[in-house]
Structure 1
Amino acid sequence: MEAALTAIRRHGPAVSVAAIAAEAGVTKPVLYRHFSDRADLQRAVSERAAKILLEKLVPELGRPLPPVDRIRALIGAFLAGAEEEPELWHFVVHSQDPGPAGAAAPQSDVVAHNFELIAGMLTSLLTDNLRALGQDAGGAEAWAFGLVGMVYTAGDWWLQRRTMSREALVDYLTQLIWQGLSGPLQGAPLKKDAPEGS
């Protein structure tokens, strides 16, 4: 597994099985004694790579920070992990080698699993904060999935374009998220426009 990660870092997300085997100092048949097929190898490597990328994020969830600082820290940790391991990010997120019979790429399962994992942790965090403030926590899960999706897609866009610094992106996303959450966290009701003609 370590050899596979090294090969991805060296050769990029389109690394071949032969390159991974060479990095491990074995032949392809020996490599396949440990994995049933290429899709199994890619799934295992994607799981390990995703774990590396998440290791920076999870500790930030438990830090006792004011809400806006915690938001900034979470976004910063997520983007720092992606920036430090861009080849692993692209391997997990963008490799499109399908499984058997044209099935979805094995990485897509890993991305979906980790997306739900992060959103689940954020749901708990939002729920606890809202309840502690005596506010309605009914929207916590929807907000969590929306926030994770926004940061994930913005981060992917940024890694490919690099039109601003990581710090600037963290600031922009923090501002947008905090403005959206500060109302519910303070109990501000959603203002609904009156229907036309009323």
Structure 2
Amino acid sequence: MPQDDATVKRNARADRRAERRAEMVEAAMAAVRRHGARVSVAEMAASAGITKPVLYRHFDDRADLQRAVGQRAAEDLMERIAPALTEDLAPRAQIAAVVDAFLAGIEDEPELWRFVVHAPVERETATEIVDDVRSQIATLLSQLLGARLRAAGRDSGGAEAWAHGLVGMVQSAGDWWLERRTMSRADLTGYLTALIWDGAHGMLGDQEQPPVLRTVPRAQGS
């Protein structure tokens, strides 16, 4: 059934409003990169070439804006991690790929990560966003682990709990590393992969000898 003119106009306005909101989110992300995690709403509005009152016509408050920026940043991070989770790799190589993809994401966008996770206001909003990202990654990882365990003739009942635990560990380690930078990304990926693989090796029943967790020489410039 064809739409009447009023409906067409309403839909067009809604589409344009969604486009403008998306443009403002991109501008806000650019302001975070430029000014850091403590960026002000005025600085985010200026990045979009508008004033705060105009910005607030599209967002309820700062929490709504922060949530929108966080969701967009989360989508970018998931785009990095998803290929590592879906690629057909040997188990240890897949663990390393997932860990490195996450660390690369926060290394490339450190201020966005801090804005979403550690901004001085709207902690509840940050928690919602981080929990959502963690849940998405853990869901994909649990499916992968479950399939690997079943293929090895093992009980896959713990795959979901294991996936959530691994995601939390890698996130926490990445958060620490981003602030301290006492080692290179490659070194941290190696440490975390070795730690995870010790458990994965036993659970998956792989015949490959697990690596010995050892001190990795600090990379130059780290």
Aligned with 1:61 (options 85, 93, 100): 85
Show the 5 A alignment for 1:1-198: 1-98=25-122, 104-186=123-205
Return the offset for 1:187: 8.1
**Partner Cα distance (1:177, 1:148) in 2:** 11
| Structure 2 counterpart SS, 1:105 | helix
Unaligned runs of 5+ in 1: 99-103, 189-198
Superimposed CA distance per residue, residues 164-187 of structure 1 (whole angstroms, 9 cap, x where no aligned partner): 000000000000000111001018
Q: How many residues align?
A: 183
Q: Residue 194 of structure 1 corresponds to which residue in structure 2?
A: none
Taking structure 2 as the reference length, what is the TM-score of the superposition? Answer: 0.80
Return the offset for 1:112: 0.7
**Partner Cα distance (1:21, 1:129) in 2:** 48
Say if 2:38 and 2:120, in contact at 8 Å, map to a contact too.
no
Unaligned runs of 5+ in 2: 1-24, 208-222
Relative contact order, higher structure (CA 8 A, sep 6+): 1
Say if 1:42 and 1:106, in contact at 8 Å, map to a contact too.
yes
Q: Residue 193 of structure 1 corresponds to which residue in structure 2?
A: none
Say if 1:120 and 1:144, in contact at 8 Å, map to a contact too.
yes
**Partner Cα distance (2:75, 2:140) in 1:** 15
Superimposed CA distance per residue, residues 25-75 of structure 1 (whole angstroms, 9 cap, x where no aligned partner): 001110011101111111111111121222211111111110000001110
Max radius of gyration: which structure? 2
Moved over 4 A (4+): none
**Partner Cα distance (1:176, 1:105) in 2:** 31
Same amino acid, percent of matched pairs: 58
**Partner Cα distance (2:206, 2:102) in 1:** 28
Taking structure 1 as the reference length, what is the TM-score of the superposition? Answer: 0.89
